[in-house]
Amino acid sequence: MLAARKPPVRDGGVISWLRENLFSSVGNTLTTFVVGAVLLYLGVGLLRWIFIEATWGPLWRNLRLLAVYRYPAPLVWRPLSVVAIFIALLGLSAGIARGRGGTIIAGVYWQFAAVVFLITIIALATNWPMRWAWFGVSVAALAGYGLGALVPRLERILLWLWLASLPATIVLIYGLPFAHPTSAMRVVPVREWGGILLTFVLTTGIIPAFPLGIALALGRRSKLPAIKAFCIGVIELVRGAPLITWLFIASLLVPLVFNVEATRIPALLRAYVAIALFATAYMAENVRGGLQSVPRGQYEAAQALGLSSWQMTRLIILPQALRAVIPAIVGQSIGLFKDTSLVFILGLLDLFNVHNVVAQQPESIMVTGGVRLELSLFLCLFYFCFAYRLSVASRQLERHLGVGTR
Amino acid sequence: MASRASRIPSKRERIPFYRNVKVIGTLLQLLFLAVVLIGIFIVYSNISSALQRSNLPASFRFLGDRAGIPIGESAIRYSTSDTYLRALIVGVLNTLRVALLGIVLASLLGVTVGVMRLSKNWLVSRIAGGYVELLRNTPLAVQLVFWFSAVLVPIPPRITNPIELPGGIMFSQVGLALPWLQPSYNFNRWLPWLLGAMAVFVVFYFFQRRRLEHMDRPGRAWRTPLLLFLLIAGGGYVVASLNSSVPEGTVIDFDPDRGRGDVFIDRDGDGRLGRDETPLVGAEVMVRIDEGIIQTNTSNFIESRQMVYSTFRFPALREHEFTSARLEFANPEDAERFDIHVLTFPTVGVIYEDRNGNGEYDPGEEFVAGDGPVAGFGGVPIVLRVEGFERRVITNRDGRFRLPIFESPAVLEAVAEEAEEQQPAGGGGGLGSLFGPPGGAEDEVSELAAAAELLPSGPLVVSVPSVPRSDYTGGVTLSAPYLALLLGLVIYTASFIAEVVRGGILAVPKGQREAAKAVGLSDSQTFRLIVFPQALRIILPPMISQFLNLTKNSSLAILVTFQDFFAISNIVANQTGATIPVILIVIGGYLIISLTFAFILNIVNDKLALVER
């Protein structure tokens, strides 16, 4: 008979976790202390800088500039209502998904909602002019979620709602072409757009890239040599040079191609063409990856059923291929979101370029040492907030879809 | 069943052409080609008429014209009188310079972070994870501007007050300067030995490898050849050094009053560097100035994000370069009011008023320009008197060396005499002295007692950086824009490489690790000998595409005012209006880069492919 032994000590609990992960050996313990000390030093330095040494005044005074740049102040409620629509739709989707145990979209929703709530609280506490509009956005966010949770049957029209939000967004931001120049829905010329608003407008370059990219990807896999060669040529040519050169090329070439005065084509349009083109090439490569992941048997089965090649592509291949590349497309969207900062080359004032403008304002230069560090921190926070949360979601999605494990 | 079988077309029956896949395919392609051609034609005609209308050049002929583009740094000789083609080549070289070093550093950092992410230490792995997430999810443009405008320009001290690190390294707003081995004019004597050694290495290496393969034994084929290489190259260096000589007719045209000199072979005997005379590159010169002064004024400025008051800066001198140095006020009345607090002897200091009378400098006692009579003239004039100044300098690729500008001490005496003469008459002498020596005194000023002597130099010379005025000379300089771009690219790309490395290491089957443990290898041996070599196979291809990304991302150089290929192309397009040619050059340039990387990738993939049975 074996004598009874005590249970192993290293089971659960904080201490055993610490021992295993931080102090498992002499070297490990030493590393922990050294790294911890450095980290503590840096952290304290950062906090000290944020709360004592930094000058936040110029940033605080220029928040509107950073958000929408020169978008007319009385009309700022329009981009804000776009925010409301999106967060409400996100909430609706999250609420509906809740009933089915969907957590990925809920995670994204709750983070963005938390940001909206935080901004609302700050706005209310410091008496922003737009504080009630922000309050409205918060209400919309909660209402969307509540509605989704209470009426899961809305799922049937969810896709249509998302699609409908697109023209609504365009109308809200651009305005109605025939509206009276003093009315609330008057046209706001694109040269007055800027800041965060413009960053998001440019990121939508991924939307036209979607169908075009699918077309190019299908063309690249075509058996017809002329079409295949053309698609390969376009994809590799566009991917061969960096985005900044395409923006530069578009700014020079677009007026020439349409043979009009350079000033007649707004810089935003030229940038958009370049961004959409660039996104298309990368989208095509992503979709191609998805197409390749569809097993050969699926094609053969479709042919055996007597489907035409168009039917086969539409009903069998693409749904599977696109499902597999959703994470990659999210990743690409994040990349594009970050890359919109390159439109400075066209003189467009997106968030990144507005930050340069703010840094060069006389009031900012008067601050000893400038406010570059403060602005950089703000920009980092902004881009990181969106990009990181979406990349986490994309990874969750990847695991959820089981890409690569099937 | 029979009826079904009859539907299969017999050999005689033919498919109608409109249902023939081949015919449809051909027609489709023809249609497609027609559409593409029409599109190209429309675009072409539009472009050509637009070009005609706006009178822009459409050929590459402009490349031979004089560019007149100032370029801050260049790997080859470049001046504003060079052509557009040369300016573009300088841009290409600048891109390569940043991309190649960036690739090496990004791989090192990326592998380190990637391995750290898998560390057993929770803290270390979390830090590495945080690094990767933070940097991957912020735009490179933001990071570059951060490194340049928020770190490398405002935080380091000004060039006149560089941080000096051991080994002669200097760091300031202008950038980092490192000592460097530079080929001298005697390099050619060593070159044959070096080439010979390389040839021996290559031949021997392949011979050795063949031999090892033949014997079917593992071993390091490069060991003996490397030893041979070192022997031949080293021996050759000694021989070349002993043979070194200064070429016939070499002259030093030293102009101490302007702080510079040229070393060259004086063919026409006039003592000046002519157009067709050969400058002596990499010549070591010992410069001596027996007694000299430097004058400067104190000023207020922002440095390292802080306001600095009434500080003076002289060109940096190192302790061993002079026998004695003394700081004094140019005007005797200043000496009564102020005292000098030396920060870096003898070149940097603050002047202060000893308000609390403790005889020492206390913060807050600086003289703040704006109160007092001298404020309007940019501060208080200070004189640095140096005796026995000696410095070893190396000529640059134009055969020129540069020094701080010294004046003869006689200048001060002349000014003082002048002031004394004028004092009883006009009383404006105090002002006159501030504006420099009056015209009449020039002839009386004696020349500086200075000498320059050519030192014998071997094939290679060590060039140590120094700051003669407001820039570096000697050594190798990594300018602030270059550093910012390098830092930004390396740190950004490393976060992607780290993920690649992590993925690669995780992809090595667990059994390999367990087997290594079972054989009795230690943790580090397991990693070095078993895991990493296998992971490398998975890591390398995506890593090479990250290298390509780094190279393409270097086009953001324009944000940190570094002039790479894209930045210079941009200027060329704006200056000449040659839109289409420049676009073709830019696309062509980047396509060549992409294709080169694709080519390397293919080779690597072939080499790495598992040899399967």
pLDDT in tens, A190-249: 889 999 999 999 999 999 999 999 999 999 988 888 999 999 999 999 999 999 999 999
Suggest the residue from A263, A380, A394 to mutate for an interface test with chain B (most B CBs closer than 10 A): A380
DSSP assignment of B181-199? EEE-TTHHHHHHHHHHHHH
Task: Count CA within 13 A, CB hemisphere, residue A319.
Answer: 8
pLDDT of residue A206: 94
Closest CA to B340 of B301, B312, B379: B312
pLDDT of residue B7: 56
DSSP state of A180: -
Averaged pLDDT, A243-263: 88
pTM of the model: 0.89
Cβ of residue B595 closer than 8 Å to a chain A Cβ: yes
pLDDT of residue B9: 55
pLDDT of residue B612: 55
pLDDT of residue B31: 92
Cis check for the bond before B541: say yes or no (omega within 30 of 0): no
In a 3-state reduction of DSSP, which class is residue B416? helix
Suggest the residue from A252, A309, A332, A361 to mutate for an interface test with chain B (most B CBs closer than 10 A): A252
At A384, list the tokens.
Answer: 């990181």
Tell me which residue in A21, A245, A338 faces B566 most closely, judged by beta carbons: A245
The minimum CA-CA distance between A54 and chain B, rounded to whole Å, is 11
Residue B432's CB: how many other CB atoms inside 10 A? 15
pLDDT of residue B35: 93
B591 CB neighbours in chain A (<8 A) are 237, 240-241
Cβ of residue B113 closer than 8 Å to a chain A Cβ: no
Place A10 in a pLDDT band, splitting at 50, 70 and 90: low
Q: In chain A, whose CA is at the least distance from the CA of B149?
A: A372
In a 3-state reduction of DSSP, which class is residue B366? strand
The rounded mean pLDDT for chain A is 90
Q: Which residue has the higher pLDDT, B172 or A366?
A: B172
Residue B178 identity (one-letter amino acid): L
Task: Count CA within 13 A, CB hemisphere, residue B397.
Answer: 10
Query: How far separated are the first and last CA of chain A, in Å rounded?
Result: 48
Task: Count CA within 13 A, CB hemisphere, residue B111.
Answer: 14
Residue B603 CB contacts under 8 Å (≥ 6 apart), including other chains: none
Separation of alpha carbons B406 and B289, rounded Å: 8
The minimum CA-CA distance between B589 and chain A, rounded to whole Å, is 8
Separation of alpha carbons B424 and B441, rounded Å: 18
- ipTM metric: 0.92
The model's pLDDT over A274-315, given as tens digits with 9 standing for 90+, comes to 999 999 999 999 999 999 989 999 999 999 999 988 899 999
B133 CB neighbours in chain A (<8 A) are 388, 391
pLDDT of residue B191: 92
Residue A338's CB: how many other CB atoms inside 10 A? 23
The minimum CA-CA distance between B398 and chain A, rounded to whole Å, is 35
Closest CA to B571 of B98, B88, B63: B88
pLDDT of residue B435: 44
A255 CB neighbours in chain B (<8 A) are 50
CA B95 to the chain's CA centroid: 11
Under-70 pLDDT residues of chain B:
1-13, 369-378, 419-446, 610-613
The model's pLDDT over A88-139, given as tens digits with 9 standing for 90+, comes to 999 999 999 887 777 888 999 999 999 999 999 999 999 888 889 999 999 9
pLDDT of residue B449: 81
CA B611 to the chain's CA centroid: 42
The minimum CA-CA distance between B307 and chain A, rounded to whole Å, is 7
Q: In chain A, whose CA is at the least distance from the CA of B148?
A: A372
